Amino acid sequence: MEHRIDQIKKQLHAQSYKLTPQREATVRVLLEREEDHLSAEDIYLLVKEKAPEIGLATVYRTLELLSELKIVDKINFGDGVSRYDLRKEGAEHFHHHLVCIECGSVEEIENDLLGDVEKIVERDWGFQVKDHRLTFHGICRKCHDGTTTLKK
């Protein structure tokens, strides 16, 4: 944890940004709740527990900054809210989402599903791929096994 914070601190400094207490508090929440796809509001509330004086706008600004620096991923499931995830240390961007249209659950999968596909896009369309977003919509295991009672 402290190691990761330190890493991020250096990355910020390298681009002449500071790791202010507010920013650190935000990063800590993201670290604790890694992979939780938290919204800005969620993060704001969690940060507030530790540092009640922090403002929502600051959280937004921090998330925007971290997102520009590729420290967090800003993702969008089309539900009108942006969600933020801290990137795994040095991770390539090989994670994708399975959104269940029954129960609304979101599972994240790690797999370089698109390595070849990106090559095709670069070759056939002359488009230099820097990043991608891939989301599958369908029925999750629980829902088609009938082993869930969750409904949105």
Residue 140 engages its own copies in binding (rule: CB under 8 A): yes
Q: Please name which of 55, 46, 14, 45 lies closest in space to residue 28, comparing C-alpha atoms.
A: 46
* Pick 56 or 103: Cβ nearer DNA: 56
Residue 81 contacts which entry, DNA, its own copies, none (Cβ below 5-8 A, type-dependent): DNA
Supply the DSSP string of 3-30, one letter for each residue: HHHHHHHHHHHHTT----HHHHHHHHHH
Shorter beta-carbon distance to its own copies: residue 46 or 71? 71
Mark 61-80 with x for binding to its own copies (rule: CB under 8 A) and - for no binding.
-------------x-x-x--
Distances (CA, A) of 72 to 5, 122, 145, 147: 13, 25, 34, 34
Please enumerate, by residue number, every residue annotated as part of a binding site for Zn(2+): 100, 103, 140, 143
